[in-house]
Chain A
Amino acid sequence: MTMKSSTRQVDGVTIVDLSGRITLGEGSVVLRDTVRDLLSKGHKKILLNLGDVNYIDSSGIGELVSAYTTSKNQGGELKLLNLTKKVHDLLQITKLYTVFDVKDDEANAVKAFSK
């Protein structure tokens, strides 16, 4: 299954709802293009909703890191929402869980962005 991405705005935060697989190839490209497009349009508060992401490989992990650092370097903020157990475990063993700002409640995640 390929990855799908859709965006919505909530209180100045762009929520990106992702579903499917973030893997080498199409999934990673969709994530990269989505984040770059948002940043280029000035949307610098990005919440990646990974609730329906059922699989991620090392390339996908790399894309998450890239999205995070690209956002930060452009003065933005990127947080992760609703990690599945698989993605949670992968971020734990790669020691990235504490690097990312991970949330499990959308309303609280939106409030957590700087005003």
Chain B
Amino acid sequence: MSGNRVSYTLDSTLETVNSAEETAGRMAAEAGFDDEDVMKISMAVREAAVNAVMHGNAYSPGKKVTLAFERTAHDLVITIRDQGAGLDASKIPDPLAPENLMKTSGRGIFLIRSFMDVVEIHPSQSGTELKMIKHVHGSAADSKEASQ
């Protein structure tokens, strides 16, 4: 399985969000994650897909979402890219701050960071790439050991 990569090009629709979530759950289960991690990974991908479809591409029929899964020896690496204006992560309010606690939106990136081991946001003029990594054995220590 090491090094396997699969990618999908998807429309900017709600169906894409559901499809991305289901695919992520299947990929995570095949990678050997337990039920709780499968749920976390599929939910992180759902939130990322919502961001890409709704905030990035603004449901534009002409804009696509690219979703890629890569299984390495130690990680499941998931990349989701939109064709929007580019997300400035520094401007995302902290949803745990008292003034934001009762807001009805703004928790997606927070949940992604809570559920995945590594989250990188790469905005550009051609869109945003969100890279999420879950260590197969559940801890960063495993990959550190392996890289030594």
Residue numbers in B under 8 Å from A95 (CB-CB)? 96, 101
In the complex the two chains form, is A61's CB within 8 Å of B107's CB?
Answer: yes
Docked complex: B3-57 residues within 8 A CB-CB of A: 14, 17, 39, 43, 46-47, 50, 54
**A63 CB to nearest chain B CB (Å):** 7
Per-residue CB contact flags for chain B residues 94-124 toward chain A (1 = under 8 Å, else 0) read 0110000111110110110010000000000
Residues of B contacting A: mostly = helix
A74 within 8 Å of B (CB atoms): no
Query: Does A9 belong to the interface (CB within 8 Å)?
Result: no
Residue A51 at the chain B interface, CB threshold 8 Å: no
User: Which A-chain residue is minimally distant from B115 (CB atoms)?
Assistant: A93
Do B39 and A86 touch across chains, with their CB atoms under 8 A apart? yes
Check A20 for interface membership: any CB of B closer than 8 A: no
Compute how far the CA of A59 lies from the CA of B53 in the bound complex, rounded to whole angstroms.
Answer: 14
> A63 near B104 (CB under 8 angstroms)?
yes
What is the 8 Å Cβ interface bit string for chain A, positions 76-115, against chain B (1 contact, 0 not)?
0000000000100010011110010000000000000000
By the criterion CB–CB under 8 Å, are B50 and A24 in contact? yes
Q: For B39, list chain A residues within 8 Å (CB).
A: 86
Contacts of B47 in A (CB 8 A): 57-58
Contacting residues, chain B, for A65 (C-beta < 8 A): 102-104
The distance in angstroms between the C-alpha atoms of A86 and B107, with both chains bound, is 16
Contact (Cβ within 8 A) B104 A94: no
Assuming A57-B43, A94-B96, is B17 touching A24 (CB within 8 A)?
Answer: yes
How near does chain B come to A103, taking the closest CB pair, in angstroms?
20
Say yes or no: B107 contacts A58, CB within 8 Å: yes
Interface flag for A5 (CB, 8 Å): no
B61-101 CB contact bits vs A (8 Å, 1 = yes)?
00000000000000000000000000000000001100001
How far does the alpha carbon of A94 sit from the alpha carbon of B101 in the complex, in Å? 8
Q: Distance in Å from the Cβ of A42 to the closest Cβ of chain B?
A: 24
A58 vs B55: C-alpha distance in the bound complex, in angstroms?
A: 14
Interface residues of A in 34-66 (CB under 8 A from B): 57-59, 61-63, 65-66
Residues of B within 8 A of A59 (CB): 50, 105
Tell me the B residues contacting A by CB distance below 8 Å.
Answer: 14, 17, 39, 43, 46-47, 50, 54, 95-96, 101-105, 107-108, 110-111, 114
Binding site for B on A (CB under 8 A): 23-25, 57-59, 61-63, 65-66, 68-69, 86, 90, 93-96, 99
Besides A58-B107, A93-B114, 6 new A-B residue pairs in contact (Cβ under 8 A), listed by A number? A58-B108, A62-B104, A63-B104, A65-B102, A95-B96, A99-B102
